[in-house]
């Protein structure tokens, strides 16, 4: 094995005297004293090995605590970044709002959002405990006028009856809880053939020609993609959708696992690695999903997310 300069073995030319150990005089010690000395050394080694094995769980716990504490120090920043991101949809700083119902008329709701093609969020209703924010396009003033003076429950009932709103759950990251990633890895540019094969298997009706390679190259260069390897192929992948606001400050994590490979923990390991790597790069992780997607909600909670609020979104063509 090659020795680095400055290592303990790189002693050629050194002027430091070496301690000389006198050879054991077996004829003076005799066989039994020598055996007893060797046995005592072996016993000490067994004791040290046993003590080290008993300390391993404590060492692992300390490592986890170190990771947790490192993340805990950043939780204030993570919270502020996440609330700032959600505030863009509300048209106001939600951290400064008091309890109650707030109607926010925002021209921002008329603009197409990056990552949604040519679509926009014409109305965005955020509900958190006793706080409700209704951010709306001026084009929907008449609809909003019909909500004025009603309770949050009545507003949500009207939104559901319209049949035009998607019900979403919004999450806030509270710290890492998973530290074992199995065969998950951060995908590199050279992994594109694996990614394309996975994509075609996961989305057989989609056509990746002309855009998938460009998307993969862009996200892989940012180290935003993670995948779980099994028998030389990808079975679960975390992608990175384009962010409509605060790109490269906050990143939503999408997850897809091949149907035949689900309920094996691959999504959990892959998403945990993706979250961990985002934190290492100073990017705030973000999670949201359909309120009906209980599997995604449970996965988010297992990764260290907690539900922050619920959203009702009216999405239209811009």
Contact assessment for residue 267 and residue 258, using Cβ atoms and an 8 Å cutoff: no
Bigger pLDDT: 35 vs 302: 302
- Would you state the pLDDT for residue 40? 62
Mean pLDDT estimate for the chain: 86
- Span 59-99, pLDDT tens digits: 566 655 555 555 544 899 999 999 999 999 999 999 999 99
CA 180, CA 38: separation in Å to the nearest integer? 40
Contact assessment for residue 209 and residue 296, using Cβ atoms and an 8 Å cutoff: no
User: Does residue 27 register a pLDDT over 60?
Assistant: no
Contacts of 246 (CB under 8 A, 6+ apart): 81, 84, 85, 88
- Would you state the pLDDT for residue 28? 41
Contact assessment for residue 157 and residue 146, using Cβ atoms and an 8 Å cutoff: no
Query: 3.10.20.90, 3.40.630.30, 3.40.50.300, 3.40.50.12280: which CATH number matches 184-305?
Result: 3.40.630.30
**pLDDT (average), residues 119-124:** 96
User: Does residue 42 register a pLDDT over 80?
Assistant: no
**What is the H or E stretch that residue 12 is in?**
none
User: Does residue 124 register a pLDDT over 80?
Assistant: yes
Report helix, strand or coil for 2.
Answer: coil
CA 275, CA 265: separation in Å to the nearest integer? 15
DSSP string, 168-221: EEEEEE--------TTEEE--GGGHHHHHHHHHHH-TT---TTTHHHHHHHHHH
Among residues 86, 265, 66, 84, which one has the least CA distance to residue 175? 66
User: Does residue 182 register a pLDDT over 90?
Assistant: yes
What are the boundaries of each domain within the chain? 70-172, 184-305
């Amino acid at each position: 094995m090659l020795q680095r300069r400055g290592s303990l073995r790189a002693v050629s030319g050194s002027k430091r005297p070496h301690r000389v150990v006198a050879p054991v005089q077996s004829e003076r010690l005799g066989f039994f004293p020598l055996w007893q000395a060797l046995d005592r050394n072996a016993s000490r080694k067994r004791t040290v090995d046993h003590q080290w094995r008993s300390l391993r769980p404590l060492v692992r716990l300390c490592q986890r605590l170190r990771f947790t504490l490192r993340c805990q120090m950043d939780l204030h920043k993570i919270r502020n970044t996440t609330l700032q991101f959600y505030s863009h949809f509300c048209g106001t700083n939600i951290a400064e709002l008091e309890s109650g119902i707030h109607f926010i008329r925002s021209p921002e709701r008329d603009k197409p959002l990056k990552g949604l093609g040519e679509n926009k969020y014409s109305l965005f209703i955020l509900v958190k405990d006793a706080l409700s924010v209704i951010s709306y396009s001026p084009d929907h003033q008449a609809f909003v006028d019909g909500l004025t003076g009603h309770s949050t429950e009545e507003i949500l009932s009207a939104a559901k009856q319209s049949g035009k709103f998607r019900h979403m759950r919004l999450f806030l990251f509270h710290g890492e809880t998973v530290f074992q990633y199995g065969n998950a890895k951060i995908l590199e540019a050279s992994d594109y053939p694996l990614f394309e094969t996975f994509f075609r298997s996961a989305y057989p009706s989609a056509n990746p020609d002309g855009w998938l390679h460009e998307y993969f190259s862009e996200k892989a260069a940012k180290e935003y993609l993670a995948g779980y390897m099994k028998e030389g192929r990808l079975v679960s992948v975390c992608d990175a959708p384009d962010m409509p606001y605060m790109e490269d400050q906050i990143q939503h994590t999408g997850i897809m696992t091949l149907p035949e490979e689900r309920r094996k923990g691959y999504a959990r390991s892959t998403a945990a690695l993706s979250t961990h790597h985002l934190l290492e790069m100073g990017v705030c992780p973000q999670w949201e999903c359909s309120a009906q997607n209980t599997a995604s909600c449970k996965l988010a909670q297992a990764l260290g997310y907690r539900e922050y609020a619920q959203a009702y979104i009216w999405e239209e063509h811009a």
